[in-house]
A and B are shown apart, each in its own frame.
Chain A
């Protein structure tokens, strides 16, 4: 079983057998409790059902315990919690008004959307094969999005606040929520041209929003504040001691950065620019390690990633160079300490308004919020510190809602999901799982591509030749990595090559999708205007 299976079993044991004051101190297992308190309470409730299945799994010292009853219970708990996800999908489908083309059920946007969400390959394998409880967490997120669509803002805010205290990875999309609620809920009216009407600000709404968030946080963190354990809780929640990337690089910007570093160092060695003795040993011999020492390019610190993420989200210094698509110059620009840059000003980039700004200056209703949310999630995936490849789901699922609405979004969605899902392949690495992951992936990919193509058949094709070529390239890549490579002599010498290839190949696609989404957010006219025209 996967490590996450043991992680959750251990948490069941911790919450069941220890007092609250011990929850965030317990360290018998290396898989300490590192989710926010609501998730701990969730495990606590589960453990009271679990004791009827197998008492042994609730023992903290029973490391790596696994019986068939434990397995049954754990698997069923995930399936059971998915009910919330199904409900949320139903709510989302209600409030999405996509294109109306066919009369047949299978061609309706709602049907397609529900399949895209419910059969989502990534969620399916991460939750039900690998083992995690993402289903109901994403259920909460989708539900809160649906509530915002339905103009039930308070409820949406409450659900999101609860979600944050279940799993703090959702902090990545919190800026989108914050700005949207502030702009579209706290300001009750707009000027005719769509810009803000400052006088319409409603203090009551702001305070009630704040109160909701505060109360939820108080409920979650209050007990630990009373126990004076807050610093300990936070140190568990935000472990910055880990490396920039996982052992398997998540396919984001840093994967490209690392790969470039490797290529440069190899070239440098060949051309004798670099002294072989100065090169950190781990970087070339073992290939993929947690603490990655960059050879040529400057090493990246957590602060740098944080800044990059914030920049990507807020896009305060969106230099015109980024437009040229020159990735290297862009990253140099992003990674250098920004004090050397001249003070950022929006006037420097005429005609382009960045993502959060878009949400503020060009409010496009809930749809605009959804795009911004996706972009936040994707940007933090691109530049975050120690990002796990599973985090791509955070962008894929909200993006599904967008995909059935517009052809452009559908095209981005398909590139993003296909590459993002493919990058999850290393999660399942045993031979019996190989056919299942390939089959499920094919199932989802073929369905999503064909159904969206049918939905937008009257518009221009979803992919240009380059994108088609790239996506088709995933097939040969899989064949090389899983069927050919194990039989070559490189398997012993360079065991990391398949992972490296997968990671870099997917990183290209995801970066491309991110870039395309970014551009589309920036240049798209507000929906309201197009409708009027």
Chain B
């Protein structure tokens, strides 16, 4: 590529923004006794380094599961162990058993931030760059602009480098998976995706599209010939990678079960804190959490999730295409986020990643979604004192998107990929010609609401009676937006090939 230097510049800009954000505060800084996610990660280093593997997931006098017990799959624990070895080399106090609890210092913060940066640099950023280089049908300049926008996505930066988590690892692996599968390296792709699931169980949000797409590919090749061979190979890869990741825990049944129990804490309820999903928003009107018994909640959320992602998945099995795959990833992850059980506000990043991937195809809607997704985490970011970096990075991201895709000029029905949908609606409702204008107005309303709500949250104190007023409002508004996006993405997916057929008919 002749413009490699611009790509380097883009990556460096991404890195600079990341490091600048990381100079800010992290979750739970100086807030004993529980601190925050930063302390959780440090605690895991302490646990994995000092205790034998068998005790990692069990409650004991040395491992109080109530205090940030490990609740991610084993590879996360291995990663912590690796970091712990480095920490031991630099300063053993950081990971001393018991005594290091709540350890905070400038040097330690620097160390933790560096581990995030290194993980990001090794996994997520190369995947993004490669993905943008592999994009078809767009100019080099657009590819670079696309990479810039993806790398500047504020949600991920703020959570990883501000709040403190290692989302870039799991998301990066998932991206490698997408990359592999869209380039027809199915085996490598599924291996990468297995790693992603094994790093964070939340990656299961993406699992169904992967499964459906690969299954669809197998069907397409014919289940009696090549397709079957591929299916067997894929199954082997998946089983082998799972076995490898879980090896120390497969020795005893109790170990495996305990890890699974830690990974899927059903008894923690339908939702925690404030999440921009259906259940939390609905909770404003009706306290479902208290009215319905736990198992009914579970079944209910399962049914809703299943129903909402069914159309997209069926479509993908029947007509596997790499474009449809990306859109299905979005809609499935969004369904999971909106309807499933025990969702965190940070899980919206799992939806944002595939939306970033379709940024070049539907720039207007993607930018809008990514803005809303960042906004939906506002209460969390405010709690971590990350207001300034959030505002600045969001503005930078918005400007980058506007200039590189000129999104405001791309609001025609065709560019929103709604052409075939409106044609089919027009068969019944001939006057249905105002769709793109409606969407523009909705965007305007949505952005104004977000800005106003942000301003109000920051400047006004909540009323005495309703201390959570603003965070509930933020969740509610974001939830409405997300519902709209769910409908939109499903429409695109369902009407997608019809347009192809129509075009064929016309031609």
The interface of chain A, by Cβ under 8 A from chain B, is 104, 106, 431-432, 435-436, 439-440, 442-443, 446-447, 450-451, 454
Q: Out of A436, A446, A454, name the residue touching B9 (CB < 8 Å).
A: A446
Given A439-B16, A439-B19 in contact, is the A104-B141 Cβ separation under 8 Å?
yes
Is B107 close to A, CB under 8 A? Answer: yes
Are B106 and A432 interface neighbours, CB within 8 A? yes
- Give A447's nearest chain B residue, CB to CB: B9
The interface residues of chain A lying within 8 Å CB-to-CB of B5 are 446-447, 450-451, 454
- Give B388's nearest chain A residue, CB to CB: A72
Can you list 25 contacts pairing A with B, beta carbon distance less than 8 Å?
A104-B141, A106-B6, A106-B141, A431-B110, A432-B23, A432-B106, A432-B110, A435-B114, A435-B117, A436-B16, A436-B20, A439-B12, A439-B19, A443-B12, A443-B13, A443-B16, A446-B5, A446-B9, A447-B5, A447-B9, A450-B5, A450-B6, A450-B8, A450-B9, A454-B5
Q: Name the distance in Å between A86's Cβ and chain B's nearest Cβ.
A: 14
User: Which residues of B in the span 272-293 have a Cβ within 8 Å of any Cβ on A?
Assistant: none
Is B123 close to A, CB under 8 A? Answer: no
The interface residues of chain B lying within 8 Å CB-to-CB of A442 are 12
Give complex CA distance A447, B13 in Å.
Answer: 11
Is B447 close to A, CB under 8 A? Answer: no
B99-128 to A contact mask, C-beta < 8 Å, 1/0: 000000011001000100100000000000
B9-27 to A contact mask, C-beta < 8 Å, 1/0: 1001101100110010000
Are A446 and B12 interface neighbours, CB within 8 A? yes
Give complex CA distance A106, B20 in Å.
Answer: 26
- Give B113's nearest chain A residue, CB to CB: A432
List the 10 closest A-B pairs by CB distance, nearest first: A450-B5, A443-B12, A439-B16, A435-B19, A447-B9, A439-B15, A436-B19, A446-B8, A431-B110, A442-B12
Q: Name the distance in Å between A87's Cβ and chain B's nearest Cβ.
A: 19
The interface residues of chain B lying within 8 Å CB-to-CB of A451 are 5
Give complex CA distance A104, B114 in Å.
Answer: 37
Give complex CA distance A140, B114 in Å.
Answer: 40
The interface residues of chain B lying within 8 Å CB-to-CB of A432 are 23, 106, 110
Q: Which of A432, A442, A450 has most chain B Cβ within 10 Å?
A: A432
- Give A72's nearest chain B residue, CB to CB: B388
Give complex CA distance A432, B5 in Å.
Answer: 26
- The binding surface of chain A is classed by DSSP as helix
- The binding surface of chain B is classed by DSSP as helix
Q: Name the distance in Å between A219's Cβ and chain B's nearest Cβ.
A: 38
Give complex CA distance A502, B156 in Å.
Answer: 37
Q: Name the distance in Å between B432's Cβ and chain A's nearest Cβ.
A: 39
Q: Name the distance in Å between A245's Cβ and chain B's nearest Cβ.
A: 32
- Give B14's nearest chain A residue, CB to CB: A439
Q: Which of B12, B16, B20, B110 has most chain A Cβ within 10 Å?
A: B12
The interface residues of chain A lying within 8 Å CB-to-CB of B141 are 104, 106
Q: Name the distance in Å between B445's Cβ and chain A's nearest Cβ.
A: 31
The interface residues of chain A lying within 8 Å CB-to-CB of B110 are 431-432
Give complex CA distance A288, B23 in Å.
Answer: 31
The interface residues of chain A lying within 8 Å CB-to-CB of B8 are 446, 450
- Give A454's nearest chain B residue, CB to CB: B5
- Give B13's nearest chain A residue, CB to CB: A443
The interface residues of chain B lying within 8 Å CB-to-CB of A106 are 6, 141
Are B9 and A440 interface neighbours, CB within 8 A? no
The interface residues of chain B lying within 8 Å CB-to-CB of A446 are 5, 8-9, 12
- Give B20's nearest chain A residue, CB to CB: A436
The interface residues of chain A lying within 8 Å CB-to-CB of B9 are 443, 446-447, 450
Given A446-B8, A446-B9 in contact, is the A440-B106 Cβ separation under 8 Å?
no
Give complex CA distance A454, B5 in Å.
Answer: 10
Are A431 and B107 interface neighbours, CB within 8 A? yes
Given A431-B110, A432-B23, A435-B117 in contact, is the A440-B6 Cβ separation under 8 Å?
no
Q: Which of A104, A431, A439, A447 has most chain B Cβ within 10 Å?
A: A439
The interface residues of chain A lying within 8 Å CB-to-CB of B114 are 435
Give complex CA distance A454, B6 in Å.
Answer: 11
User: Which residues of B in the span 34-73 have a Cβ within 8 Å of any Cβ on A?
Assistant: none
The interface residues of chain B lying within 8 Å CB-to-CB of A439 are 12, 15-16, 19
The interface residues of chain A lying within 8 Å CB-to-CB of B15 are 435, 439
The interface residues of chain A lying within 8 Å CB-to-CB of B20 are 436
Q: Name the distance in Å between A366's Cβ and chain B's nearest Cβ.
A: 31
Give complex CA distance A443, B117 in Å.
Answer: 17
Give complex CA distance A435, B12 in Å.
Answer: 11
Q: Name the distance in Å between A446's Cβ and chain B's nearest Cβ.
A: 5
Give complex CA distance A305, B255 in Å.
Answer: 78
- Give B19's nearest chain A residue, CB to CB: A435
Give complex CA distance A440, B13 in Å.
Answer: 8
- Give A451's nearest chain B residue, CB to CB: B5
Q: Name the distance in Å between A102's Cβ and chain B's nearest Cβ.
A: 11
Beyond known contacts A435-B15, A443-B16: 6 more, CB 8 A cutoff: A435-B19, A436-B19, A436-B20, A443-B9, A443-B12, A451-B5
Given A106-B141, A435-B117, A446-B9 in contact, is the A440-B107 Cβ separation under 8 Å?
no
Give complex CA distance A106, B12 in Å.
Answer: 17
Q: Name the distance in Å between A6's Cβ and chain B's nearest Cβ.
A: 20
Give complex CA distance A450, B10 in Å.
Answer: 13
Give complex CA distance A451, B2 in Å.
Answer: 12
Q: Name the distance in Å between A343's Cβ and chain B's nearest Cβ.
A: 53
Give complex CA distance A121, B133 in Å.
Answer: 28
- Give B107's nearest chain A residue, CB to CB: A431
Give complex CA distance A447, B117 in Å.
Answer: 22
- Give A439's nearest chain B residue, CB to CB: B16
Give complex CA distance A308, B366 in Å.
Answer: 62
Give complex CA distance A2, B315 in Å.
Answer: 61
The interface residues of chain A lying within 8 Å CB-to-CB of B19 are 435-436, 439
The interface residues of chain A lying within 8 Å CB-to-CB of B23 are 432, 436
Give complex CA distance A436, B141 in Å.
Answer: 26
Q: Name the distance in Å between B9's Cβ and chain A's nearest Cβ.
A: 5
Q: Name the distance in Å between B252's Cβ and chain A's nearest Cβ.
A: 44
Q: Out of A104, A440, A450, A454, name the residue touching B16 (CB < 8 Å).
A: A440
Q: Name the distance in Å between B91's Cβ and chain A's nearest Cβ.
A: 13
Q: Name the distance in Å between B219's Cβ and chain A's nearest Cβ.
A: 45
Give complex CA distance A431, B117 in Å.
Answer: 15
B388-409 to A contact mask, C-beta < 8 Å, 1/0: 0000000000000000000000
B140-160 to A contact mask, C-beta < 8 Å, 1/0: 010000000000000000000
- Give B8's nearest chain A residue, CB to CB: A446
Q: Name the distance in Å between B248's Cβ and chain A's nearest Cβ.
A: 35
The interface residues of chain B lying within 8 Å CB-to-CB of A450 are 5-6, 8-9
Q: Name the distance in Å between A123's Cβ and chain B's nearest Cβ.
A: 15
The interface residues of chain A lying within 8 Å CB-to-CB of B107 are 431
